Amino acid sequence: MNDFTSSVADAKIPDATVRRFSLYLRYLEDFERSGISSVASGVLAERGGTTAAQVRKDLSFLGSFGKRGLGYSVKELTGVLRDVLGLDSVWRVALLGAGRIGTALFRYEPFRARGFHITTVIDNDPGKVGTRLGDVMIRGEHELECALREDRTDLVIVAVPAPVAQALVDRVVAAGVRAVLNYAPAQLRLPDDVALRNVSMTVELESLSHALTRLRRCR
Amino acid sequence: MNDFTSSVADAKIPDATVRRFSLYLRYLEDFERSGISSVASGVLAERGGTTAAQVRKDLSFLGSFGKRGLGYSVKELTGVLRDVLGLDSVWRVALLGAGRIGTALFRYEPFRARGFHITTVIDNDPGKVGTRLGDVMIRGEHELECALREDRTDLVIVAVPAPVAQALVDRVVAAGVRAVLNYAPAQLRLPDDVALRNVSMTVELESLSHALTRLRRCR
DNA sequence: CACTGCTTGTGAAATCGTTCACAAGTGGAA
DNA sequence: TTCCACTTGTGAACGATTTCACAAGCAGTG
């Protein structure tokens, strides 16, 4: 762990920790903008809704470069987190589905700001194919493989209806893409060496609804 | 646990389990449509990407009403899950922010189908106030409390820029709302008796980016 | 230097969630 | 009835994550 050769840890980092890294980074960027140069675990914890011990444990996966008595250098920590999250590369993203969700995702600026460039948009509606979404031409489903290769796509965002999703993703994987962000309400099956994250619009809402119901019943 | 008085468990159910309930319910509704009347844990597991033991353990939080040798009644299980997830009530939802994300969420049909009715839309852009989003009139920020009360809002979806979010949510909580679904990239502070779920568009993407980086470095 | 106040890094303990393994229940067939 | 194939429900083992507790390190002061 006390690896001084490079900034990035090689060991497996728990998923929960990686997700918190995203949050920490957000706060650190705020701090950087405010001109704060150093930050203690307790401060980050308060901002992120966890505990100081949690923050320190998380950061310890990256090596130990905090200064005892002082905290962490905002600048250094920002750099390390960007590095470990892979935010220094530009990732080439293909968006499958230019419906409501797809369009909203396409227009969501923070993606681009973080280095995720949507260079391909695919939709199977003939009325949409050939039109533009922002600066990207919408291409038909049959051009999928071709488009992925041409644009050297790293990552695919799935925003098509559930029934179509699996078939499309199979083709995407066959074309060599190794990361999928799935917004379709379907459980996708993929090989182990492909990274998958599911985002379900309804799951969070329903978990809230469950919490509300419990609150109601208690009083 | 072996509570035969009613269908709903009173004990605290792990959050991870509740989220899986949403998924199980989705699959069960598929099965129901296909006319399948009974389902074994293994089948649900395969569909949902977990294990049979996990499914049974999850469902055991709701009591035990599977039939050994047969599995679970699709109809009964659907009912129990809908009940525990609170999907039999209609929830009155207010949407804060009618920007890109807000609009996409408003138009997302599965919400309505699940009993989440967006009855209030608030935005502080004077150009939007007074116009309609679907069948709902967009109201100004100053009308917030008034609107929440009039519409007897149960739940609020926050889709405003991060800097505004906390102040708005404070008012929402003061007005008596007990559940918040937050799409703003900000960590909200709320009292303990208010349920909060954060959805971050970038966190999942960044966790994928991390995974991709790791994959890259390994070969 | 010694002392003080503050903060990290980290083993160890505690907590939480998942998987295992198997007794017990079910329906159907003989 | 007995046997068989199947499946649930659940204690116990396991594994992962979070929290605790504290030694060790740093900067500033006298």
Nearest to B205 among A21, A111, A211 (CB): A111
Res. B218: pLDDT tops 90: no
Q: Is the minimum distance from the CB of A37 to strand D below 7 Å?
A: no
Q: Are the beta carbons of B185 and A110 separated by less than 8 Å? A: yes
Residue-wise pLDDT for B38-63, tens only, equals 999 999 999 999 999 999 999 999 99
Q: What is the DSSP letter of B44?
A: H
Six-digit token string for A48: 């992120």
B161-170 pLDDT, tens digit each? 999 999 999 9
Chain A contact present for B11, CB below 8 A: no
Report the C-alpha gap between A114 and A22 in whole angstroms: 11
pLDDT one-digit tens code per residue, B206-217: 999 999 998 887
pLDDT of residue B219: 56
pLDDT tops 60 at residue A185: yes
Residue A135 has pLDDT above 90, yes or no: yes
Give the per-residue pLDDT at B215.
Answer: 85
| DSSP tag of B71 | B
**Nearest-CB residue to B204 (from A23, A103, A197):** A197
Phi, psi of A78, deg, nearest 5: -55, -45
Query: pLDDT digit string (tens) for B61-119?
Result: 999 889 999 999 999 999 999 999 999 999 999 999 999 899 999 999 999 999 999 99
- Whether the per-residue pLDDT at B10 is higher than 70: the answer is no
Confidence of residue B3 (pLDDT cuts 50, 70, 90): very low
Topology of domain A91-203 in CATH is: Rossmann fold (3.40.50)
Write down the mean pLDDT value for chain A: 92
Distance separating alpha carbons of residues B197 and B195, to the nearest angstrom: 7
Task: State the pLDDT at residue A10.
Answer: 53
User: What does the pLDDT read at residue B157?
Assistant: 98
> Are the beta carbons of A213 and B86 separated by less than 8 Å?
yes
What's the token pair of residue B8?
């709903």
Q: Nearest by CB to B19, from A47, A86, A203: name it.
A: A203
B86 touches chain A (CB under 8 A): yes
Q: Are A180 and A155 a contacting pair, CB within 8 Å?
A: yes
**pLDDT of A103 strictly over 90:** yes
Residue of A nearest to B210 (CA): A85
Please state, for a pLDDT cut of 70, what percent of chain B lies above it. Answer: 94
Instruction: Give mean pLDDT, residues A149-160.
Output: 98
Residue B6 has pLDDT above 70, yes or no: no
Q: Which residue has the higher pLDDT, B24 or A9?
A: B24
| Amino acid B9: pLDDT | 41
- What pLDDT digit, counting tens, does each position of A24-34 carry? 999 999 999 99
pLDDT > 60? residue A80: yes
CATH of A15-84 among 3.90.470.10, 3.40.190.10, 1.10.10.10, 1.10.150.20: 1.10.10.10
Residues 6+ apart with CB under 8 A from B134: B106, B107
Query: Would you list the domain boundaries of chain A?
Result: 15-84, 91-203
Using the CA of B2, which nucleotide's C1' is the nearest one? D9
At residue A201, the pLDDT reads 87
Is A51 an interface residue toward B (CB < 8 Å)? Answer: no
Side by side, which strands form the sheet with B179-182?
A: B132-133, B136-139, B116-122, B91-96, B155-158, B179-182, B195-198
Residue range A186-190: mean pLDDT, rounded? 91
